[in-house]
Every structure is written in structure tokens, then in C-alpha cells.
A and B are shown apart, each in its own frame.
Chain A
Amino acid sequence: MWEVEIRGMASAHALLAGSVLVGSLMPALTVENSSVYGTHLVWLYSVSACIAVVNIAVFWLLGISPPTKKNTLSYKLSRLIRSCLYFLLSCLFFHTVVVLYGAPLLESALETFSLAVLLSTLTTLRCLCMLGPNVQAWIRVFSRDGAMSVWDTSLQITTGCSVVGAWLGAFPIPLDWDRPWQVWPISCSLGATGGFLTGLLAAPIWIRWHRKQLTYKLK
């Protein structure tokens, strides 16, 4: 039982990690003179889009998300609209938090918002795919001992890692090295992506390591 779930999750994570790679390579192949530093926003949106597509494909189409009771079209549509709304709200939330952390309010607002989009893709989108637009479920998963399945634990780990990665990515900014990756928001978005990849890698390993201690009550 454990082995099967962990293997499934590992392959899903491998797909996601691959999508990050594809997202990084795509601008290099299609757009001329593109580099991660120079045309950072292109890279950022390309990675976000790839992750989003793969996430939706893996979790929604393959049916890992909880089965819905009602199966009418209107219900599905309302869920879709609510999901989009939540995603937008989460972008705004991340934007606000980043500004509170000291990002300039008006200058380079586009860069700040792009970072917020990336962060939302890495965190909120996964929640939306796996839990649906259901705030109660989110609160349950992200409170202490709230995980009810392996997928919940992996969600906790990847989300935490992404946010912590972005947090750590802000540290090199005050250094006076004048490097191209110190420009706002490159170090933060790179940190978030790195954190996300670390989370993808760490989640199966961690769960496997702790499989004795992990007990999911309601399962």
C-alpha cells in the first residue's frame, strides 16, 4: 500500500520537476537572446505555465483530487470559476506580502506581481488541484496533524519548501556584489523554484523515511 502510493507520488513529482526543466528550456529555444537573467519574466511565466499545465493534467485529469458528489456541468463550471478567483486572490495576497516585506510599492510592480504569480503557481495551484476550492480543507491540511493522506503530506512539504525558498532567496539582495542575479526579483523566484524542486525531491524521501510514524487517522 505504502509502496504503491509513494511510487505514484514520486512519478508525479518527477513529472512536475520535468515540467520546470521544460519551462526553462522553452524560452531558450523559441525566443531569441533569452536568458534566465536577461529576460527573466519570460522565463518566469514559461515555468509557471508549464507547472500549471502539468499540475492540472496530473491531478485533475488523472483523478487524484477528491471525487465530487455532484457531477453536473454547472457545478463544475462554478468550481472552475471559484478556482480561478482563488488563484487571483492568492496572487494578490502574495503581492501584498512581498510589498510588506519591503518590495517597492509602485516601481517594478510588474516584477513583484510576476513573483506573486510564480509563488501562487507553486503553492495555491497545487492546493486547488488536489483539494479543490474548499477553504475548510485547506485549513485542515495546513494545521498541525491535519494531513489525511500521503498527498496531503507532500502538499505540506512542497508548499513549505517553495515559500521558504523564496524567503531565503531574498537574503543575497543587500550584498554589494553587483551580480545579475541580485536584481529584483530574480533571486527570489530562483529561490522559490529551487525550494519547490527540493520539496518535490524531499517529500517522497521524507514520507518513506517516516512511514512508521505516519498514521492517518481518518483513512
Chain B
Amino acid sequence: MKLSSSVFASFCLITELLGIALFLRGFFPVPIKSSLSSKSKLSDLPAEPVVGSNPNSTKVPPPLFNRVVIVLIDALRDDFVFGPSGKRFMPYTRNLVESGSSHSFIAKARPPTVTMPRIKALTTGSIPGFIDVVLNLNSQALLEDNLLWQAKNTGKRIIFYGDDTWVRLFPKHFLEYDGTTSFFVSDYTEVDNNVTRHLDSTLKRDDWDVLILHYLGLDHIGHISGPHSSLIGPKLLEMDDVMKKIHTSVITTEAEGTLPNLLVLCGDHGMSETGSHGGSSEAEVNTPLVLISPAFPTKEDMGEPVVVEQVDLTPTLALALALPISQNSVGRLIPAVFEKASLREQLRYLHINGHQLSSLLRDSNPGFHKEDGYEQFQMAEKAHGSWMKLYVEGNTSEVLSNIAKKVLKQYLEALQAMSAALSKQLGKYDMYSMMVGMSLILQILVLLLLAMPEALSSAACVDLPLATTFVSLPFYLLVLLGSSVHVLVCTSSEASCYFCSLPWLLAFAGIIFSSALFCTLVAMAARRALKVDNKQTKTSSSEWTLTELDVLLLIGTLGHTLSLASSSFIEEEHQTWYFLLNTLCLAVFQDVCRKYFREKRRTGEDEESLLLLSTVEEKGASFSPVTELGVSADSEKWLALATPLLTLACCRMLRSLNQTGVQWAHLPDLSHWLNSGDHKVFLSLLSVLSLLLIFLLVQRHCSLVSKIALALGLLGVYSYRAAVGSVLFPWQHSAQAMSKGTGEAHFVYVFVLGILFTGVKDLLQSQVMSSVVDGRRLKSRGLWEVYSGMVLLVALLFRAHNLPTLACCLLIQTLMAQFIWKRLHYDAAQTTIMHYWFGQAFFYFQGNSNNIATVDISVGFVGLESYVEAPAVFLTAFSTYAGPLLWACHLVCYLSSERDRAVSLGHSSYCFALLRSIPAVLYIMLVTALRYHLFIWSVFSPKLLYEAMHTLVTMAVCLFFTFMDQDRTRRP
């Protein structure tokens, strides 16, 4: 099957996008959420099951504890308390653990073992997935149902000292708080002193019910020097002191007639042997959990601590304080804590926990009936009911307590099964879907690479041997193999993957497609190998000669892809692009110098270029600078020489306009200076200049109507910015109140649509035109009009301080097109790679970064009274990717108005697809390999989302290319 290069590129990108979507679905597990949007209430609690009679009591069992102190020590590993170092450095706590009235456990944390998700897990009882973390970057506060909210809602007074993550997660929850920032890792004494200094006064007071202390010092020591450092001992001794202080003042001295108090010592995560955390090794996952209260029986010997889940603390605390269990909790209560309660109450606690888990299971798993835990719970509930009947009837025999113990056991088993079923769905990568998606995109990348010689040939056609594939035996074998693997994986007991839950017809189609792709690949590779063999017999020397520019473009593309393996280079990716772009400009400058200085001696060349010029003039093509800008041939040389330098200067200016990244993001930049209120005049002047420049540069290719529309539109942009209050309006006398500028924005939208409509009309008209030359000219004009429409929209969406970015972008495009790409005879592939690099650099010039937080969401509200999802999402995506889109669009316009454009559009769309696929595919493989990396959710996951989005944008661009390339086949 023969496909033209552009169609082939679009096909590849669409397939790749499907693969990436599948991968993302597997990479980010869907969080388990209860279907109820509100939070649990006490009144929602189920009645106590009693067979035969009406439920007589829905009351909650009384609380077990009066006040609770939670001491959370960051990165407290289990052996720091239970191991030999606990004996040496935490003698008081160890004494309590071994012979005090306490319960000790090893609480297993789930990866990502990083503080914020762990705090969420401890308070909500759910297991936050990566997508949660990524998507909640903008809304800092925890909106989910959680223990602290429940406590506050029932009037408990909470005091918090420690890591300010808590303050951000729970604003307005605390009666009193003092957050310490965990930014300076090298400080490990001040952070803890800031917590401890409040301790004495707080412990004396009695106006609080819950006290939470979060100590960061230990974690910081771990990051500096690891778990065996000499700093650990003193820090643990300090913590032991804190424990002693709290224990003596709160736990042992309690007033008569009130309930006992509770002291909880826990860690959010452990630390690995190198002192870091984030992964899933034993040392990072195991944390101690010690509950100390006079209510517990005194122990004789310590024994081995029981292993529980970290999230089990949530329902335990909730029930012990008579609060509702938060909705999305997957934990189960720790039975040891409730040992002293009566049997009836114990059963009641278990029933409440089981009911909550079963309703969560019902909401999150469509096949909940088949789950063992669910059935067990139903049975236990029935048995509980009949026991209650006996109990209510006043039966008090030995038999009754035996039955109760049996029911208790049933409940515990049911809870364990349900909790396991729930947490299995969470916090686990769906490897099967990830692998399927990855193999698909990997095949596409190999296909693109194999097709390179054909796609970039003068025919710009790729011959896919599909027909032979479908009749070959290996294809059917592969399909069989794929189907059997699919069935095997999906029927295996643990599987809960997305690809399996697809309808089988779709999955089967996917398998067929993938096998066909693989066979095609092999066939193409074989053909290529054969051709190379033939060629080698004919000509031994290679015919490929690379210029310095080609080498740079190749090295840059590969080097950038490799740099994605490092988290720092992802954070500072803009530096890579700026660096490459600068080098590119210098290389171009060298080429220009070579052309105008060195080769001048070869007079033949000169004459040739003169000849070229004259032919261009004869044809009246729109691109000769001589005709267009009134530039003489001599000054053209100087302009050509100045262009790369001007580009360099522009880039340097734009670079200091918006600081992005992580390491240097805090440095002052021009945009801060411009936006600081005192410099409004400068900002206004700059905006006016930029808008004027934009108009001058864009209007050249447009028809008269579009020119007027553009001018009015740009005026509208300025008045919109003035209405919003970011720039000054010269004839605005009264100090008008700031409006949302909806009217002005609508005014601009009308012109954007108008210009786009004219452009599309011209494009369509050119398809039906009989004369080739006229048709081509009309098409070129139509394309430029579409382009100017886009520019106008971008001008509206960009903030005022970013307007110079747009102006510089247009200036560089115009100059480069006039003097560089055209004059130096760069081919379509080279031009495309340069456009791609410029697009990437401008993506960062506008202030974007690889962090979700830099996406400017306010763009979604331009011209809208309230939030409407579809336009808001479109506008945000458009303005975020404005740089790459504008450059791609310029490429179409530029290539279409060239004379030898016959194949260049195909070539360049193929190049776009390849340039996007190489980093995307390799990055996805990297992310899979690094999925337990410490920074996986803070650095790698956001970048993954950016890569996916960028691929989507590139696909749209490629479809546009394909559409523009179509008439070539129709009209040769």
C-alpha cells in the first residue's frame, strides 16, 4: 500500500497517540472514590443489625480516648525504634514499648513514599495515586473527606506544629499552628526547635483535643548523610526527650472521671540505606507505629510488632474518637486497640468499618459481588444480627461469648479481604496496559525510522507492504500468540488492568493491528537490508555527506532526548533548548558568512544567484526581498548577515523576560519588573510597540479586508488589556472600575473568526480553481490569512508582558524566511528541524516549564463570563502551545509559497512526526524504567503529561499538513 509521506506521518502520530493514551491509563491508576460527593456524617451510620426486630439503636459507640497527641517524625524507620538503635537512642520510648501500657506495630507505607502523599494517606485513609498528586497541584487544600475535617466538624480543637505541608493541606482546620518549611534540607536543628519550643506551653493548657507534631529534622539528616550517620543518634535522643515530655505531662497525669488520653508515635515513611526515600524498598516502607495510653494493658515482654498498613490508623483513630470513618478510607481498624471494650461494642466497631469498606468497594469495583470479602461481610453481618437478637433477649451464657468471638473473626477476615481488594486497585502500575501501549509506540518509532529513506525521497511516498502481511503465516501466528497472552494475563487472578476491561472486540482489533504492524516492520527491514546489500555491491563509498549544520541538528535532537533521563535536565529543559537554539543561530551565521565572503570569489555562483533572482522577479513570487522590502542586492547581504545576530539578540532578551524552571525561577526577570505597577507606562508602551510590529509583519500577505480586520482586532486586543487593567489607555479619563473586558474580547473574537473564515474560504476556492498559478497564489494567501487569524488570537490570549515574545517570534520568522532559509537553499527537512527547535524554545520563552503549575489557567476566562469547560480547555491549551503552533503554522505557509513545494510539505510533516516521536517514545521507556524514582511524581509525571499533550498538538499540526498536501496528488 502506497501512502504519501504526510498521510503516513499523520497515521503514525494517531497510532502513537492511542498508544500513549493506553500507557497513561496504565501509568496513572484511577483513584478509588466513593460515589457520594459529600462527606460522611454520623447520621449515615448503619444501624446495628438485629434479626427480627426493628433496628433499635443507631448510636455510635462512645469514644475511647479524651485527648490525642500525634507525634509524626519524618522518615522514622522501624529499626530506629524497634531495632538496636532504638535501644541506644530512644531509651524512654523503648521502655514504654517493651513494658509500658502500649501497642506497637510496623506500619507499611505505600509508594510513593514522599511526605505529602503520606500525609494524605494518614488523614484520609486512602492511597493517593500519582495522578492525584499531579492534578491537585493547583488546589492545595485537601478537599476529600478526612479525619481532621471530621474532627473539626464535631468541635474538636486541633493544634498543629511542624511541616507546613499540613497547613497548606488543611487551611482553617487548626485552632493554632506554626508551620516550618522543609525547603532547606541542610537545616536539621532549627526545624525541630521551631516545633519543640511550643511544646511546654501547649502541654500545660487544656483548651485542645488533638495535638499534631510533625518533626522534619530526621528526614533532613537522612538526606544529608544517610541512616548510619553520627547525627542520627542525637536526633533520636532529642525525639525521645519529646516523647518523655509528652508522656509524663499528658498520658500519666490525667484527671479523674475523664477518659484516658492517647499518644501516637509514627513515621510517614522510612529511609533507604542511602538516606533517600520515594521508592518501595523495605527500609523506605516500614515505619513504626506506637500507641500509648493508660487504657491499654501493661505488657510483660515486647515480642515482634505486628505488621499493619499505614492507612489502618485512620479508621482506628476515627472510631476511637467516635468520629465517622472518612469515605475513601481503605484501612481496617486495629483490633488490639479495642480489646477492652465490651463484645457488643467491638462487634459494632467492626460492623461500622465493614459497612464503610463494603460501600466503597461497591462504588469502585463493578464486580464487587464476586469479591470474597464482600460475601464474607454479608455473612458476618447476618451472624452479627442473630447474635444481637440473642443478646437483646438477655441471654448471657458462655455460648453467647463464643458465638461473638466467631463473628468477630468473621468480621476481621472480611475486613482484611475487602481492604486488600481495594488497595490492590490503587498505588500499583497497570503494567500490562503500559507494556501494550509502549510496544505500540515503539513499533511506530521503528516504522518511522525504517521509512526514512522513502519518506524523504523525491517521490515522498512510503510503500507499506500490508498486502503481503495479511497473507503471511507469521502474522496469523502472532495474532494467535497475542490473543493467548491477552487471555492468559486477563484471566490470571491478580489482573485488574484497563486493557483487559476493554470490550474483547476492541482488544482483539488492537492485537491484530499490533501484529500487522510488527509483520510490516519486519518486511520493511528485510527489504531495506536487501537494498543496502545491493547498493554495497554497486558503490562502496557512502554518498551521504553531512554538513556541520546537519551534524548539529542530529546531535541536538539526540542529545536533548538523552538529557530527559535526568530530573535536573527536565526541570531546566528550557536551558537545553536555548543552548541548542543559540548554537543553531551561530551555525547559520557561519553558513551565511561562508556564502557571502568565501564563495564570492567563485563568480559562477554569483551569476547563478543573480539568475535565480531574475527568474523570481519574472514569476512575481511573493518572496523576493528585492521587490518586497525595496532592498538592494548589496544591502541584502548585510541584512542576511545581521539576521542570525538579531535572532540571537532577540533570544537573549526573551530569555530574561520570563525566568522558568526550578533552580533559577526565583531570580527577578523583566516580566516582574514590567508587571510591578510602577512601570505600567513602560508596559503600555512596549505593548503598543509590539502590537504595531505584529501588524506590520503580518499584514503583508493578507488581502485588504483582512488587513483592516487585523488592525481593528489588534486595537481590540489593546483595549481588552486596558479594560482588564494591565495597561494604560491614553484617552481614558475617568478611573473606570476594572471590568472583565468581556465585550472587548468578544470584539476581537469576531475579527479572529472573520479572518479565519476568509482564509478558509480562499483555501477552498483555490481547490476548485482551474488555473494552477492563480490557484496556488490564492492558496498561499488563504494560508497566510489563517496564520494571521491565529496570531490575532494569540495576541489576545497572551498577557501584556508576553506581547514582545509574539512580536519577536514574528520578526524572526519573517527575517529568517526572507534571508536565510530561502537564500541558503536549506531543504525541507532542515527547515523543519529548525522550526521545531524554534517552536520548542518559544514554548519556554513564553514562560512555560515542565511543571503543571506554570500553565496559565486565567486564559480560559478571556471573554467568558463564567467557567465553560470546552472553550476554556481549548483556549488554555492553545495559548500554552502557542509557540510550537505558530512556528508549525509558519512552516506550512512558508513551504506552500515556495516554488519547489511539490514534496516539501510531505517531507516536513514526516520530519515533524519523527521529531516528536523520538523524544516521546524514549521518554516513555525511561519513565517506565524509573517508575520507582524519588522524583517520579514531582518531575517525571508532569513531564509525561506535557509530552502526551505535545504529541496531541503535533498530531493536529500534521493533519493540517496532510490536508494542505492533498491537492498535490490531485493536481500534479
Contacts and interface: CB of A to CB of B under 8 A. Distances in A.
B579 A101 contact: yes
B96 to A, nearest CB: 40
Greatest chain B CB density within 10 A among A146, A167, A174 is at A174
B332 interface: no
B966 interface: no
Contacts of B651: 100
Interface string B573-586: 00110110011001
A210 to B, nearest CB: 16
A67 interface: no
Greatest chain A CB density within 10 A among B578, B579, B663 is at B579
B648 interface: yes
B605 to A, nearest CB: 14
Interface string B320-332: 0000000000000
A219 interface: no
Contacts of A140: 598
Contacts of A177: 568
B578 A143 contact: no
Contacts of A173: 575
A102 B579 CA distance: 8
A73 interface: no
A175 B568 contact: yes
A102 B568 contact: no
Contact of A102 (B578, B586, B649): B578
B2 interface: no
Nearest to A176: B568
B655 A102 contact: yes
Contacts of B572: 174
A102 B97 CA distance: 58
Contact of A97 (B566, B576, B586, B655): B586
A139 B649 contact: no
Contacts of A99: 652
B731 interface: no
B594 interface: yes
Contact of A100 (B582, B597, B598, B661): B582
Chain A interface SS verdict (over half): loop
A171 to B, nearest CB: 8
A101 B575 CA distance: 9
A54 interface: no
B568 A174 contact: yes
A177 B597 CA distance: 45
Interface in B634-663: 648-649, 651-652, 655-656, 661, 663
Contact of A174 (B582, B649, B656, B663): B663
B819 to A, nearest CB: 19
A144 B583 CA distance: 19
Interface string A151-190: 0000000000000000100100111110000000000000
A170 B579 contact: yes
Contacts of B566: 175
B293 to A, nearest CB: 44
B569 A101 contact: no
Given A97-B586, A100-B652, A174 B575 contact: yes
Is the interface on chain B under 10, 10 to 19, 20 to 34, or 35 or more residues?
20 to 34
A17 B576 CA distance: 32
Interface residues of A, number: 18
A175 B569 contact: yes
B649 A176 contact: no
A176 B663 contact: yes
Contact of B582 (A101, A146, A176): A101
Contacts of B597: 139
Greatest chain B CB density within 10 A among A97, A99, A102, A144 is at A102
A139 B568 contact: no
B787 to A, nearest CB: 29
B200 to A, nearest CB: 37
A102 B598 contact: no
A102 B594 contact: no
A143 B594 contact: yes
Greatest chain B CB density within 10 A among A97, A139, A170, A175 is at A175
Contacts of B594: 143-144
Contact of B652 (A102, A143, A144, A174): A102
B569 A174 contact: yes
Interface string B721-763: 0000000000000000000000000000000000000000000
A140 to B, nearest CB: 8
Nearest to B656: A105
A175 B576 CA distance: 11
A173 B597 CA distance: 36
Contacts of A174: 568-569, 571-572, 575-576, 661, 663
Contacts of A139: 597-598
Interface in B578-613: 578-579, 582-583, 586, 594, 597-598
Nearest to B598: A143
A97 B585 CA distance: 11
Nearest to B662: A176
A100 B579 contact: no
Contacts of A176: 568, 571, 663
A167 B579 CA distance: 9
A176 B566 CA distance: 10
Ordered nearest first, which 10 A-B pairs have the shortest CB separation? Answer: A174-B572, A143-B598, A175-B568, A176-B568, A100-B648, A174-B575, A100-B652, A101-B582, A174-B568, A139-B597
10 contacts: A99-B652, A100-B648, A101-B578, A102-B579, A139-B597, A139-B598, A167-B583, A174-B576, A175-B566, A175-B569
Given A100-B651, A176-B568, 10 more contacts: A100-B652, A101-B579, A105-B656, A143-B598, A144-B594, A174-B569, A174-B571, A174-B572, A175-B568, A175-B569
